[in-house]
């Protein structure tokens, strides 16, 4: 039997998300060969290449582009995605890019349009769509849309533009579950709008569904929950650790622990593994990812509308530079 061709993959960026999720997943996939690692700090590239069995560490982006590769995984800071994405597309590489696609809506649109014109697959890593607890809770509706979804992602500390940084996962999930949004009402509370206390939104969707977004930055602990209602079903994904489906006469569910599912590691529970595997399946079959750059632009567009309605800094410019 002929040996299956391996995907030659280059990785740009060696920060926390690379170390926690992407490198361990890639290194464990038999169909993947990490051909090159690039970081602006060469020592970091060398260490990651050694740790995860990459063929080489690159001293420059030019050297990285000269490497024989099929695709790239882009894990740089979000403020510099454009300077890497365009050359990677021009190199005819398929790309898995961390979210958000960019810090401005105009640049998101430009990159999504460039992706469509390039003919390459560009996927944005909205990993919560692939989290098993979320997926199994949604599966209870058997392809029908719930009529109401409550999406809560709250944390115990504030960070710069926390709603954009974290609640965008919930905004993407609401689109994934309910379709396209047609109306937005939102409120926020803050002393400094760049470090908001909370943001809430009520979203109306084209098929009549309603989505409620809740994002507090002053919670007792991290909390992430999706509640879906409709058709005599309540389905709940709780902290990505468990799900419950409640029917009129019984309940079903499971806790996603290694005891119940040996494969269920942290990176799997949060959807990283499913996200990465979906990307390579799309590369293999030449099909569009469900979180393509074009689809991700719609999530960024809705995020911009929520921020504007809530009175928070929007995506009209990169506030990290211009604040």
- Torsion angles phi and psi, residue 102, rounded to 5: -160, 175
140 token code pair: 């209870």
Q: Which pLDDT value is given to residue 58?
A: 98
Instruction: Flag the least confident range among 3-7, 54-58, 205-209, 260-264.
Output: 260-264
Strand duo 94-97 + 32-38: pairing: unpaired
Query: Percent of the chain scored above 70 by pLDDT?
Result: 95
Q: What is the number of other CB atoms lying within 10 angstroms of the CB of residue 29?
A: 17
Note whether 7-126 and 128-322 share their fold: no
Task: Using CA atoms of 296, 301, 303, 306 in order, give the dihedral in degrees to the nearest 10.
Answer: -160
pLDDT at residue 148 above 70? yes
Give the C-alpha separation, 85 to 77, whole Å: 12
Q: Which pLDDT value is given to residue 1?
A: 40
- Distance separating the N- and C-terminal Cα atoms of the chain: 59
152 token code pair: 């809560």
Task: For domain 128-322, give the fold.
Answer: Dihydrodipicolinate Reductase; domain 2 (3.30.360)
Q: What is the number of other CB atoms lying within 10 angstroms of the CB of residue 260?
A: 10
Q: Which residue has the tokens 């970081």?
A: 39
Mean pLDDT for 279-288 is 97
Mean pLDDT for 267-280 is 93
For the domain spanning 7-126, the CATH number is: 3.40.50.720
Which residues, at least 6 apart from 311, have a Cβ–Cβ distance to it below 8 Å? 187, 188, 193
Q: Which pLDDT value is given to residue 266?
A: 72
Between 105-118 and 293-310, two packed helices, what is the crossing angle to 10 degrees? Answer: 170
Q: Which helix (H) or strand (E) holds 12?
A: strand 7-12
Domain coordinates in residue numbering, the chain: 7-126, 128-322
**Average pLDDT score over the chain:** 93
Q: Which helix (H) or strand (E) holds 269?
A: helix 266-269
Q: Which pLDDT value is given to residue 124?
A: 97
Burial of 320 per CB tally in 10 Å (0-12, 13-18, 19+): middle
Query: Where does the pLDDT of residue 237 fall: very low under 50, low under 70, confident under 90, or very high at 90 and above?
Result: very high
Mean pLDDT for 72-96 is 94
Mean pLDDT for 240-250 is 95
Mean pLDDT for 240-248 is 95
Mean pLDDT for 285-302 is 97
183 token code pair: 């109306």
- Torsion angles phi and psi, residue 95, rounded to 5: -135, 130
């Amino acid at each position: 039997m002929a040996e299956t061709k391996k995907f030659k993959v280059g990785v740009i960026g060696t920060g926390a998300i690379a170390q926690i999720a992407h490198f361990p997943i890639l290194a464990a996939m038999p169909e993947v060969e990490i051909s090159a690692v690039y970081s602006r700090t060469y020592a970091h590239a060398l260490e990651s290449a050694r740790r995860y069995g990459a063929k080489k560490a690159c001293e420059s982006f030019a050297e990285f582009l000269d490497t024989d590769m099929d695709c790239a995984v882009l894990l740089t800071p979000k403020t510099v995605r454009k300077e890497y994405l365009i050359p990677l597309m021009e190199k005819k590489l398929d790309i898995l890019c961390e979210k958000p696609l960019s810090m401005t809506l105009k640049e998101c649109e430009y990159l999504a349009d460039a992706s469509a014109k390039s003919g390459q697959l560009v996927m944005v890593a909205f990993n919560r769509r692939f989290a098993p607890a979320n997926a199994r809770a949604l599966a209870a509706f058997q392809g029908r849309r719930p009529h109401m979804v409550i999406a809560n992602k709250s944390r115990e500390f504030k960070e710069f533009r926390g709603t954009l940084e974290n609640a965008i996962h919930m905004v993407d999930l609401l689109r994934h579950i309910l379709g396209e949004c047609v109306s937005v009402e939102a409120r926020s509370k803050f002393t400094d709008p760049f470090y908001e206390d909370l943001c809430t939104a009520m979203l109306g969707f084209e098929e009549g569904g309603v989505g409620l977004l809740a994002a507090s930055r002053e919670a007792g602990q991290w909390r992430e929950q999706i509640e879906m209602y409709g058709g005599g079903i309540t389905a709940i994904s709780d902290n990505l650790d468990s799900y419950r489906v409640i029917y009129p006469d019984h309940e079903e569910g499971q806790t996603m622990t290694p005891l119940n599912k040996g494969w269920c590691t942290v990176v799997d529970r949060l959807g990283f593994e499913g996200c990465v595997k979906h990307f390579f399946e799309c590369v293999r079959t030449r099909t569009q990812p469900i979180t393509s750059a074009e689809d991700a632009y719609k999530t960024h567009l809705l995020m911009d509308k929520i921020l504007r309605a809530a009175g928070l800094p929007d995506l009209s410019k990169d506030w990290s530079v211009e604040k």
